[in-house]
A and B are shown apart, each in its own frame.
Chain A
Amino acid sequence: MDQQTIFLTILGMMAVTYIPRALPVLALARRTLPEPVIRWLGFIPVAVLAAMLVPALVAPEKFLDFSFRNIFLWAALPTFLVCWKTKSFVGAVVTGMGCVALGRLFFT
């Protein structure tokens, strides 16, 4: 594929990515929404975070893996505990990365 076609494809990708990002916030920010809609939207962050996170933890290789070889799953426990106890975000991220690094060093 020549670079000009690639560039035009990138412009198309930009448009279809930007529109879903922009339309709802532009259309809804000034509007008073009905109470059930607000409540439904209030569940969206927790739902979308769990929907992105859980498959990455329980099936990092696209099949369910609850064995000890699944470092991503077991590293989640100390990460969760550190975040819960210390409320420190960076601490949790460093803990998680450290556990994964150590797990790979010793078990693979």
Chain B
Amino acid sequence: MNSATLSTTDPAESPLASAFRQALPIILGYVPVGFAYGVLAQKSGLSALNTLLMSALVYAGSAQLIAVGLFAAAANPLAIVATTFVVNLRHLLMSAALAPYLGRWNKTRLALFAAQMTDETFALHANRFARNETGPAETFGINVIAQSAWVGSTALGLAASTLITDVRPIGLDYALPAMFIGLLLGQLKSRQHLLVAVTAGALSTALMLAGLGQSHVLAATVIAATIGLGVHAWTSRRSS
């Protein structure tokens, strides 16, 4: 079997090695984005310390890039916090979706886990947990490796900010979309899931084009999942 397959569990592999292998696409995706954030933050008047602290404490790619733009425009700090809240509210649903798998974890562990939940780590864990891979060593290994890549690439961006004009190295900005394609494929478990995916994708695109700011992902997710539930109720009533 290929050393980088989706279906994992090689008993001889250590949790750390397994975590690194699974986190590799996330690292590839974070490096260019974290790098870009480091460069832009420096150009927007954030000190090096504040730039790094935002990556360590907030740890939310798109929200950080938006915030940097707002800092550069000298926006009201409360407006920056409010925008961050709206942009990151989608994690509410992700956190709820992972909860049923984590009944055996204590509160401290759950609280730590939540701090490192991003779109990318969520997507990876959603696939892992569905395969009953909820080992804490591997789970936290993935999270720590991913966040280290994020903070590390922020530092690289800071260091290079005086040299760099183009922050999009060739092809690297496709690492995360490509990873999402793979993760989405792993989530298409039934026709109903496929229907939900198509609905969410179309709706999210339409809402974004209609100018729904940062809420299109959240709105499309809620509506599509609810439609999926409705279709399930309808088909199971017909067949019973």
Main SS of chain B's interface residues? helix
Does B156 sit at the interface, judged by CB under 8 A?
no
List, in ascending order, chain A residues with CB within 8 A of B123's CB: 45, 49
A55–B208 contact, CB under 8 A?
A: yes
List, in ascending order, chain A residues with CB within 8 A of B2's CB: 86-88, 91
B217–A88 contact, CB under 8 A?
A: no
Q: Which size class do B's interface residues fall under?
A: 35 or more
List, in ascending order, chain A residues with CB within 8 A of B81's CB: 9, 12-13, 16
B187–A90 contact, CB under 8 A?
A: no
- Quick one: which of B6, B67, B200 contacts A88, CB cutoff 8 A? B6
Does B204 sit at the interface, judged by CB under 8 A?
yes
Main SS of chain A's interface residues? helix
Name A residues whose Cβ lies closer than 8 Å to a Cβ of B: 1, 3, 5-14, 16-18, 20-30, 33, 36, 38-59, 62-64, 72, 75-76, 79-80, 83-84, 86-93, 95-101, 104-105
Name B residues whose Cβ lies closer than 8 Å to a Cβ of A: 2, 4-7, 21-22, 24-25, 28-29, 45-47, 49-50, 53-54, 57-60, 63, 67, 71, 74, 77-78, 80-82, 84-85, 88-100, 102-103, 105, 107, 110-111, 113-115, 117, 119, 122-123, 126-127, 170-175, 177-185, 187-189, 192-193, 196-205, 208-209, 216-217, 220-221, 224-226, 228-229, 232-233
The contact sample of 17 A-B pairs, CB cut-off 8 A, is: A3-B47, A6-B47, A13-B54, A13-B58, A13-B67, A13-B81, A44-B97, A47-B220, A48-B90, A52-B180, A80-B181, A89-B4, A89-B24, A91-B2, A93-B175, A96-B178, A97-B172
